[in-house]
Every structure is written in C-alpha cells, then in structure tokens.
C-alpha cells in the first residue's frame, strides 16, 4: 500500500471493503480496552508500596510538630523543602496542598474570581468578562475549569517549542480581559513538548493589558523522563523575577504520577508576596492538608536524586509501551501519509494527528471495536478541535499485549476514517 492520497477512487473502495472485513473480525473478538486516561499501571504503583509500610516510629518531624494533630496550614517544612528542590524555588515560595494539584489550580482560579489576585483592582468575576489563553492541544481538565467558571477560552496553537508566542503577545497586549494562560511547560499533555528558554522568557516578559495577568504553570511532568537525556526547562519563577514581573506565575505540581494518583501530595510555588496573599485566604479555607501523607512521602521520596532513581524505574516499565505504540504506528501508517504523531521524551501521552476531519470518526470506530480512547476534541477548549484531527493516546495503563491489540485496532480505524474522508472529497 502506498500514499492513500495517490490512490484512485476504485482502489480506495477495494481497500475499504478489505478493511471492513478486518474490522468485523476485530469486533467479533468482543474486546474491552480502555485507553482514555493517563493512569499508571499496577506495576508502576507497586514501586511505591513501601509508602504504606513506613513505621509509625518514623513519623516525627523537624520543628517538633506532631503530624497526627492540627497545624501547618501550608505544609511541613520537610515537604516544602522536597518540592522546593523539585521545582527549583525557595522553601518560602511553596505551599503544600492536598492530594491533587488540579484541586489547587481550581481553588486558585476560584479565589481570583471571588477576591482577585495580588495586583487586581477588582475581583475577576466583577469584570465584564474573563478570558484565558489555552495552548492546544492541551489538558481537558484545565479547559473544564474555565468552562465551569464561565471563563472564555481562546485557543492558541502549540508549536514545536511551546505555544505560539507571537499570537499570545499580540492578544495580551490589547485585551484587558485576558487574565490567564494555562501552560504545561514540560513534556506537555498531550504533545510531550518542553517549552524553549525563549518561550519561557517571552511569557515572563510580555506586556499585558491586564495588570493582574497570571501564568498557570502546571509542571505536572517535571520529573517524568522517558530517556537518559531529560529535557531542560528554564526556571519560570526566576525568569519572572528577572523580567520585573515576580508575581506573574503560579506553579503547580504533585506526586500523583510519582507515587499514587489520588493519594499523593500536591504543591504550588510562587513569589513570597503571592504566597503570603494566598495564605491569608487559605487559612479560612482549610485547617491544613494531610501531614501524615506528607511525611510518608518525605520519608519515601527523600530528595530529588532519589526521585530521579524512582522515576527511572517507572520509565523502565512504561518506555517499552511508548516504543510499542510508535513502532506500530510507524509500520502501519507512515507510508500511507494519513497521520503524524509525537515521539515524546517524557510525560504520559502520545499525541496523534489524523487527516483533518477524521479524529471523531476514528474514535467512534475504535469504540465500536471495543477500544475506548479519549474523546476526540477533548484536547481543545469546549471539546472542539477546529481541525478534528487530534487523538490523545495514553499508553501507560494497559499491558503490552493489550496495548498492541489496541493500537492495531486504532490503525485499522484511522485507515477506514481516512478513506471515508478521501472518498467524500
Ligand atoms: N496536570 C496535568 C497536565 C495532568 O496531566 C494531570 C493528570 N492527568 C494533572 C494535572 C492532575 O494532577 P493531580 O493528580 O495532582 O490533580
């Protein structure tokens, strides 16, 4: 088979009927494979089992805080030190949260709407409207926060080294209602892109019409390398300080995909001024996050060097899965010229682009064949991919055997959707 676009209508029809037979054979197998969310596999979770058996004798802390009791609104000093090392910031620039960084992001946006941020004249919700820039493809749950909180989303194209900065600079310079931007700066979800130094600097420096513009820097995959040559991300908080905008960024991270998602520890980092401002509101919101879990994590993860070792073990488990996906895509699709995909050096996803107008159909066919993928469009604001071409592949959870089947099915579905589209033209 060669480039599908060079085939005649008749040849395409012949090919389609052959694929239909393959598709029926797949359906007859009654598969049930779920590749919709980026979850660690049971083998990855097993790597952190020691977290659950830390002896109660070791549950003592610096500053003689009894972790079994109330206290420590912004987290234990040791947890702050750990995240400060991960995020390359000062301990005084960290707040520890509960079990989910997404929750911290939601709360941060909500507080801004209700009370404004440090440099706001009025709460964001009192403005005529509020807009966020959304580099896309991106993380559906960021977009869901905006949708729920009535924040208008503006799609920004993701380029090879981060979001389209020319477009961003042009927009924020003119529009006072643009209050924020969502960024996944390292091994982005789903493209696997790491922002270049230039992009980091431009985000830190750019002139914004809104005096209270904030960058939501979701560094969820900062230690999630898949190769021996980790991508380097420039320090955004430092870049903001250097640019004279020290309060511009809120950084988020968690141990979700380091230890146990849903039972990990989250953190945010920002300038001391921002941290102080936030803590004054946080003290009303909560008595404080789970210190016992923080301490368990501190004992288990120890320091950045130890985390890097732990993440190497994770990579040993998941790298073969990423390789399996790209090898099958390569052998099944590359000569047909109907799709392209990322080859990430870290993170949790492979981002695949079909021909325009084929993603929805592909995902629908895959579902019919028993393979659940992330909804087409989910990686764009309002669930609407303007070119209907992006599909997020989450290879970590299924076993290698399941994954092989799922990707082979996906390839059949992409071919069918592409032929349908070509026959329409
Ligand atoms: N940010 C990104 C970019 C993610 O991909 C995820 C997990 N899918 C999260 C945040 C969620 O993190 P947490 O479990 O800390 O809420």
Residue 33 has phi, psi (to 5 degrees) of -120, 130
First-last CA distance in the chain: 20
pLDDT of residue 125: 98
> Does residue 351 surpass a pLDDT of 70?
yes
DSSP secondary structure, 395-425, as one string: -SSS-HHHHHHHHHHHHHHHHHHHHHHHHH-
CATH topology of domain 4-44+308-424: 3.90.1150
Who contacts 125 (Cβ-Cβ below 8 Å, separation ≥6)? 113, 114
- 103 CA to centre of ligand 1 in angstroms: 9
| 155-191 per-position pLDDT tens digit | 999 999 999 999 999 999 999 999 999 999 999 999 9
CB distance 107 to ligand 1 below 6 Å: no
Q: Residue 99: CB within 6 Å of ligand 1?
A: no
Q: Which fold, 67-302?
A: 3.40.640
- Ligand 1 centre and the CA of 422: distance in Å? 37
> Would the pTM count as exceeding 0.90?
yes
Question: Does ligand 1 come within 6 angstroms of the Cβ of 255?
Answer: no
pLDDT-above-70 percentage for the chain: 98
Give 58's pLDDT tier (boundaries 50, 70, 90): low
Distance, C-alpha 411 to centroid of its chain:
24
pLDDT at 403: 94
pLDDT digits (tens, 9 = 90+) for 108-144: 999 999 999 999 999 999 999 999 999 999 999 999 9
Domain ranges across the chain: 4-44+308-424, 67-302
**Residue 357's pLDDT is what?**
97
Instruction: Give the residue among 192, 217, 186, 193 at the shortest CA–CA distance from 204.
Output: 217
Going by CA atoms, what residue is nearest to atom 5 of ligand 1? 189
| Average pLDDT score over residue span 224-250 | 98
DSSP code string of 50-114: GGGG--GGG---GGG--TTSS--TT--HHHHHHHHHHHTS-GGGEEE-SS-HHHHHHHHHHHHHH
Task: Quote the ligand 1 centre to 221 CA distance (angstroms).
Answer: 9
| pLDDT for the residue 64 | 73
The verdict on the CB of residue 189 being under 6 Å from ligand 1 is yes
- Ligand 1 atom closest to the Cα of residue 184 is 3
pLDDT of 1 > 70? The answer is no
The per-residue pLDDT for 57 is 67
How many angstroms is it from 177 CA to the middle of ligand 1?
26
For residue 266, the SS3 value is: strand
Instruction: For residue 68, name the pLDDT band (cuts at 50, 70, 90).
Output: confident
Q: Please report the pLDDT score of residue 286 as a whole number.
A: 95
User: 396 C-alpha vs ligand 1 centroid, how far in Å?
Assistant: 15
**HSE value, Cβ hemisphere, 13 Å, CA-based, for 58:** 13
Name residue, tokens 């440090």: 118
Mapping DSSP to helix (H, G, I), strand (E, B) and coil, where does residue 283 land?
A: helix
Minimum-distance ligand 1 atom for the alpha carbon of 99:
15
Using CA positions, which residue lies closest to atom 2 of ligand 1?
Answer: 220
pLDDT at residue 61 tops 80: no
- pLDDT over 80 at 270, yes or no: yes
Ligand 1 pocket: which of 189, 221, 393 to mutate (most atoms within 8 A of CB): 189
Say whether 40 sits in a helix, a strand or coil. coil
The percentage of the chain sitting over the pLDDT mark of 90, rounded to a whole number, equals 92
Q: What is the mean pLDDT of the chain?
A: 96
CB-ligand 1 contact for 347 (6 Å cutoff): no
Task: Work out the widest C-alpha separation in the chain, in whole angstroms.
Answer: 78
Q: How many Å lie between the centroid of ligand 1 and the Cα of residue 190?
A: 12
Q: Answer yes or no: is the C-beta of 261 below 6 A from any ligand 1 atom.
A: yes
């Amino acid at each position: 088979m060669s480039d599908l676009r060079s085939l005649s209508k008749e040849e395409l029809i012949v090919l389609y009927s052959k694929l239909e037979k393959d598709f029926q054979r797949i359906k007859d197998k009654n598969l049930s494979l779920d590749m919709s969310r980026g979850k660690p596999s049971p083998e990855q979770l097993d790597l952190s089992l020691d977290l659950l058996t830390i002896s109660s004798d070791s549950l003592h802390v610096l500053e003689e805080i009894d972790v079994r009791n109330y206290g420590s609104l912004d987290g234990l000093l040791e947890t702050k030190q750990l995240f400060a090392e991960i995020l390359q910031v000062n301990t005084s620039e960290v707040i520890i949260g509960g079990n989910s960084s997404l929750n911290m992001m939601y709360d941060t946006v909500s507080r801004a709407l209700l009370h404004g941020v440090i440099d706001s004249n009025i709460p964001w919700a009192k403005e005529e409207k509020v807009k966020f820039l959304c580099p896309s493809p991106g993380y559906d749950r960021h977009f869901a926060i905006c949708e729920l909180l009535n924040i208008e989303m503006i799609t920004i194209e993701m380029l090879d080294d981060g979001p389209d900065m020319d477009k961003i600079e042009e927009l924020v310079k003119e529009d006072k209602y643009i209050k924020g931007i969502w960024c996944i700066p390292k091994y982005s979800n789903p493209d696997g892109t790491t922002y270049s130094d230039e992009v980091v600097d431009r985000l830190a420096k750019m002139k914004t019409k809104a005096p209270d513009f904030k960058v939501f820097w979701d560094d969820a995959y900062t230690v999630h390398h898949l190769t021996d040559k980790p991508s380097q991300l420039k320090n955004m908080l430092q870049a903001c300080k250097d640019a004279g905008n020290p309060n511009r960024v809120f950084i988020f991270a968690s141990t979700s995909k380091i230890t146990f998602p849903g039972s990990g520890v989250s953190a945010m980092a920002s300038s001391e001024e921002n941290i102080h401002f936030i803590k004054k509101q946080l003290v009303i919101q909560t008595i404080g996050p789970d210190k016992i879990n923080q301490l368990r994590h501190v004992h288990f993860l120890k320091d950045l060097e130890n985390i890097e070792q732990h993440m190497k073990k994770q990579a040993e488990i998941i790298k073969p899965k990423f390789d399996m996906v790209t090898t099958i895509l390569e052998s099944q699709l590359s000569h047909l010229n109907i799709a392209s995909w990322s080859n990430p050096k870290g993170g949790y996803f492979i981002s695949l682009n079909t021909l325009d107008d084929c993603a929805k159909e592909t995902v629908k066919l895959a579902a019919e064949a028993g393979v659940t993928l992330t909804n087409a469009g989910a990686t764009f604001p309002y669930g609407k991919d303007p070119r209907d071409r992006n599909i997020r592949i989450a290879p970590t959870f299924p076993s290698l055997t399941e994954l092989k089947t799922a990707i082979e099915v996906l390839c059949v579905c992409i071919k069918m959707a592409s032929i349908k589209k070509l026959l329409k033209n």
